[in-house]
Amino acid sequence: MSERDTICALASGAPPAAIAILRLSGPQVRMLAEQHLACGVPAPRHATLTDMTDADGALVDRGLAVFMPGPGSYTSEDTLELYLHGGAAVIAHALATLTAHAGVRIAEPGEYTRRAFEAGKLDLTEAEGVADIIEAETRAQKAQALRQLGGGLSETYATWRTELTGVLALVEVAIDFPDEGDAPDNTTAPILKKLDRVISEIKSALGDGGIGERIRDGFRVAIIGAPNAGKSTLLNRLARRDAAIVNSAAGTTRDVIEVRRVMGGHVVWIADTAGLRATDDEIEAEGVRRAEQAARDADLRLFLVDGAAPDTSALSTDYKTDTDLVVLNKSDIGSLPPGIVADHVISARSGDGVADLEQAIAAFVGRQAASVEAPVITRQRHRARLEDGLRSLETARDMLAEGVGAELAAEDVRMALRQLGSIIGTVGVEDVLGAVFSEFCIGK
């Protein structure tokens, strides 16, 4: 294929809307403007009011056209944006008119940004920032996406890659000119020092408690406790809807039921779980296994204790941490048992004390989010590659320290460079590109 397709798509929201923005990019944009716009190819970067007509000369709509010639456009190709009336018939007529030409088709999800990436306008973490900013629902998500889009992660990776390239050069010198007179320490000590610095920086990025991922994907809170403690009743209250079945029979909930809320400015997933108890029922036992998994995966656990029939055995589980909350339920029944130290006393049924509990959850996620100033890792993809890179660097360091084969150490540093490179998309990304760009909406 000598020329790539010209792509077009609705870039604005679903009709009906005040305005529909159609976006075109590719080699045939000028031709399309000449054939279908009364103004011809609009003056670059000026909004031009014009009629748009179809192949038969019938009026499609009248609107504004903005032409951005390549390579100074987002995709670095000729790009045209049409601001038409945001009705379904207008959009359908306009897109049908454009795609009637050979080599003009509807864009794939994220294809504009993919072209921008391929033209070197942004790296992969910046492209992910574009997807994230569109998905962002909280200010914290937006701020993180904006930072990423602005190259906030790229800079960190560029610094590490520069330092590692320096390390590699030193290792290669050591391979080419082994200095037999010197003690090995004299040549390897400075290399090890540089290597150790990068290793400790990567370790500290990895040890961020997953805050970047939590801000992007949501914090996890699990409601844990004995059967009948009122976990599902509490979930429904927090969800403000009837998400889970409530019943006086113990062992009602089997699956983990998650609801999503924004609390303290962050996305929070609250999980209701099966009551913890030993059981012969195969399905319930699987529910208990899933409950314990949800408890381990959570950032915060609410240990719910039934005030009417206190069973505190869940409080001694190995996944309970100091920041978890012990919540005594059914305060409406009166006479709550003495001797249980609870962070909150509530009635999930009447709602008493639940507002305070919500505030405590919000405060917890707020503190967590603030615990890392500018997370380097915002997705599992980054974490996995960075862990691989760290392993390679640690292997290289151990080999250098033991004085076995600088060649092997060099190979591991090269490997780490490739692993970091795949995060920003400079190397070996064919396999990840599809996954990254498929998350986008069409028109971006």
Ligand X SMILES: Nc1nc2c(ncn2[C@@H]2O[C@H](COP(=O)(O)OP(=O)(O)OP(=O)(O)O)[C@@H](O)[C@H]2O)c(=O)[nH]1
Binding residues for Mg ion, rule: CB under 5 A, are: 231-232, 252-253
Q: Is there a contact between 422 and 385 (Cβ–Cβ < 8 Å)?
A: yes
Give the residue with the Cβ less far from Mg ion, 61 or 272: 272
Whole-Å CA distances, 294 to 62, 220, 236, 287 = 55, 9, 18, 10
Assess 333 for contact with ligand X (CB under 6 A): yes
**Single-letter amino acid, residue 249:** A
Assess 258 for contact with ligand X (CB under 6 A): no
Q: Is 275 annotated as a binding residue?
A: yes
Give the residue with the Cβ less far from ligand X, 17 or 250: 250
Question: Near ligand X by CB under 6 A, which window of 9-17, 292-300, 325-333, 394-402?
Answer: 325-333
State the sign of the Cα–Cα–Cα–Cα dihedral 377, 381, 384, 386.
negative
Backbone angles phi, psi at 66, to 5 degrees: -125, 125
Q: Which two tokens stand for residue 32?
A: 């399309």
Assess 329 for contact with ligand X (CB under 6 A): yes
Angle at 31 between CA 29 and CA 35, to 5 degrees: 120
Minimum CB distance to ligand X, residue 242 (Å) = 11
At 85 the three-state DSSP class reads strand
Distance from C-alpha of 65 to C-alpha of 434, rounded to nearest angstrom: 31
Assess 422 for contact with ligand X (CB under 6 A): no
Task: Work out the number of other CB atoms within 10 angstroms of the CB of residue 355.
Answer: 10
**Which one among 79, 138, 232, 378 touches ligand X, defined by CB under 6 A?**
232
Answer with the entry of Mg ion, ligand X, none that 233 interacts with (C-beta below 5 to 8 A by kind): ligand X
Assess 187 for contact with ligand X (CB under 6 A): no
Strand 17-25 relative to strand 257-263: parallel, antiparallel, unpaired? Answer: unpaired
Minimum CB distance to ligand X, residue 318 (Å) = 20
Strand (E) or helix (H) holding 398: helix 380-402
Distance from C-alpha of 239 to C-alpha of 258, rounded to nearest angstrom: 9
**Single-letter amino acid, residue 257:** I
Q: Is 370 annotated as a binding residue?
A: no
Give the residue with the Cβ less far from ligand X, 276 or 372: 276
Instruction: Name every residue whose Cβ is closer than 8 Å to that of residue 369 and which is 6 or more positions away in sequence.
Output: 140, 211, 214, 215, 219, 265, 266
Assess 275 for contact with ligand X (CB under 6 A): yes
Minimum CB distance to Mg ion, residue 245 (Å) = 7
Beta-bridge partners for 84: 20
Assess 332 for contact with ligand X (CB under 6 A): yes
Q: Is there a contact between 131 and 146 (Cβ–Cβ < 8 Å)?
A: no
- The closest of 237, 318, 241, 239 to 276, measured between CA atoms, is 318
Minimum CB distance to ligand X, residue 218 (Å) = 22
Question: Near ligand X by CB under 6 A, which window of 62-70, 247-255, 259-267, 418-426?
Answer: 247-255
Answer with the entry of Mg ion, ligand X, none that 152 interacts with (C-beta below 5 to 8 A by kind): none
**Which one among 15, 70, 109, 251 touches ligand X, defined by CB under 6 A?**
251
Give the residue with the Cβ less far from Mg ion, 224 or 357: 224
State the residue for tokens 């790539």.
4
Q: Which two tokens stand for residue 345?
A: 């006393």
Per-residue contact flags (x/-) with ligand X for residues 340 to 359, judged by CB under 6 A: -------xxx----------
Buried b or exposed e, range 224-237, using 16+ CB within 10 angstroms: bbbbbbbbbbbbbb
Q: Is 252 annotated as a binding residue?
A: no
Assess 283 for contact with ligand X (CB under 6 A): no
Answer with the entry of ligand X, Mg ion, none that 347 interacts with (C-beta below 5 to 8 A by kind): ligand X
Assess 252 for contact with ligand X (CB under 6 A): yes
- The closest of 163, 228, 264, 217 to 171, measured between CA atoms, is 163
**Which one among 122, 124, 246, 386 touches ligand X, defined by CB under 6 A?**
246
Assess 229 for contact with ligand X (CB under 6 A): yes
**Closest-approach residue to ligand X (CB):** 275
Answer with the entry of Mg ion, ligand X, none that 348 interacts with (C-beta below 5 to 8 A by kind): ligand X
Minimum CB distance to ligand X, residue 227 (Å) = 4
Give the residue with the Cβ less far from Mg ion, 156 or 232: 232
| Alpha-helical regions (H) of 38-151 | 88-99, 111-118, 124-135, 139-149
State the residue for tokens 């499609």.
60
Assess 233 for contact with ligand X (CB under 6 A): yes
Answer with the entry of ligand X, Mg ion, none that 228 interacts with (C-beta below 5 to 8 A by kind): ligand X
**Single-letter amino acid, residue 181:** G
Give the residue with the Cβ less far from ligand X, 302 or 413: 302
Annotated binding site for GTP: which residue ranges?
Answer: 228-233, 272-275, 347-349
Q: Which residues are at the interface with ligand X (CB under 6 A)? A: 227-233, 246-248, 250-253, 274-275, 329-330, 332-333, 347-349
The binding site consists of 23, 81, 121, 228-233, 253, 272-275, 347-349, 444
